[in-house]
Amino acid sequence: MLIEKPVKDSSYIGGSWSGARGSRFDVENPATEETLATIASASEADVDAAVRAATGAARDWGRAPGGVRGAHVSAIGDLIRAHEDELAELLTAEGGKPVGLARWELGFAAGYADFTAGWDRRLDGEIIHSDNPDEVINLVRVPMGVVAAITAWNFPIALFVRKITSALVAGNTVVVKPSELTPLATAALVRLIDEELDLPPGVLNLVNGDAAVGRALVTHPGVDLVTFTGHRDTGKAVMRDAAANLTRVSLELGGKAPAIVWADADLDRAVESVVNGRHANSGQVCTSTERVIVHADVFDAFAERYLAAVAGLRLGDPRSDVDLGPVVSAGQLRKCVDAIEGAVKEGAIVALGGGRPDGAQFEQGHWLAPTVLTDVRPEMKIMHEEVFGPVTPIVKVHDYREAFELANATRYGLAAYLYTEDYRTALRAAQDLDFGELYVNRSLGEQVQGHHSGHKESGFGGEDGRHGVLRYTQLRTVYHNFG
């Protein structure tokens, strides 16, 4: 591995590694509960030093030619490809995701760097005619300044690259704080960037730690933009804390994605897509299918095929060729089990799974058998609160209005899925579903050239594509009077 335990130098500030001055915390393998590394948490002084380093580098980096910034971003993608084996091993060890999915994540991240690097010469502005004689108005895009990037534990490298490459190509400097549950792959990639690329000191900085470190970063007056991916409640706290300095925020806060299986759906396609959409990364994806809404005409047929498909999923050692690994932590496992038990108390039936799978290999670790709940009613809590695990509630509906009112009956608004062979239903749904992303007849997986952003309490700001890159810039109006 690229990380050895204990990790003495866990902060990367101003181009140098140093031992952070905060308390220590352990990083465990969720499949075995083995301690992988001990990390030194950053102190407030460490956070301050990181922001000051980023501030010191911001002027020169922001004025560097776009092609220079783009070349550095492109090199990050090449670096990921060159070290795919080592990084995939770390992603699997610390997050419990199957190694095949870890490799997919790295491929996505490298491709994202490729895409973002192309924006080095595309951050254009506008020229506007003035009402005054002998005058022209220019709107130019300039960097935000110092970006605080706080990433989630489910896709640490993809989220790291998603945030820093857009920020860097737009001329910003960055301080990154990964989740304390999965910091190892991020630290390894930062170390590779330090060793193999010539990124100027202070342009990229890394601090580790829990929510207290994140809060110190968010409330620092030297931070110009906070980009955060994580839980809704934490996102609300980020927004409140950032408001003290009127710091801008971009928030991606999860979802409660419905999958609507309509009466005319291709059931084989729908089953395959929903199984993947619910169980990829053990259901720990912000756009995961969190509830399945099935038309009564095909409910029994869909449920039978879905149960059979889920029963055939391979659960086991994520280093091998399996479909699911463990969930990331004891707390996440408890949350999933509580959701199942709560649904059962409200009258749902556990049609499959429901607890820890059988077998000696599952006695240690945070394992949950893929679970399917039937006899679910729309008012049940599990239909409205994010579970973030391999738990599928299935509910029956009888008409369009019932289905789409239920789909929208959530505080979240990130993603939704629809399976239908009628283009009119699909076009109507695109108007009626209050979500930032709609997938028609396919499973999850946004494209880098699109836009990943939620409605309602799933956040705002967004990543990906043109709008994602521009989020890391601000407009300046310049009046040129040549009279």
Known catalytic residues are 252
Residues contacting 94, CB < 8 A, separation 6+: 27, 29, 30, 36, 156, 181, 182, 183, 184, 185
Kindly give the pairing relationship between strand 459-460 and strand 248-252.
antiparallel
Residues contacting 178, CB < 8 A, separation 6+: 151, 153, 156, 160, 186, 187, 206, 208
Dihedral (C-alpha) 270, 385, 364, 362: value to the nearest 10 degrees?
Answer: -30
- Nearest CA to 218 out of 240, 193, 194 is that of 240
Distance spanning both ends of the chain, measured CA to CA: 65
Rounded (10°) angle between helices 211-218 and 232-243: 30
Cα–Cα distance, 305 to 311 (Å, whole number): 10
Q: Say whether the peptide bond before residue 6 is cis (omega within 30 degrees of 0).
A: yes
The answer to whether 277 and 443 have CB atoms below 8 angstroms apart is yes
Please give the DSSP secondary-structure letter assigned to residue 434: -
- Nearest CA to 95 out of 382, 320, 373, 319 is that of 319
Instruction: Tell how far CA 107 is from the center of its chain.
Output: 15
Q: How many residues does the chain have?
A: 483
Cα–Cα distance, 241 to 49 (Å, whole number): 20
Cα–Cα distance, 191 to 3 (Å, whole number): 10
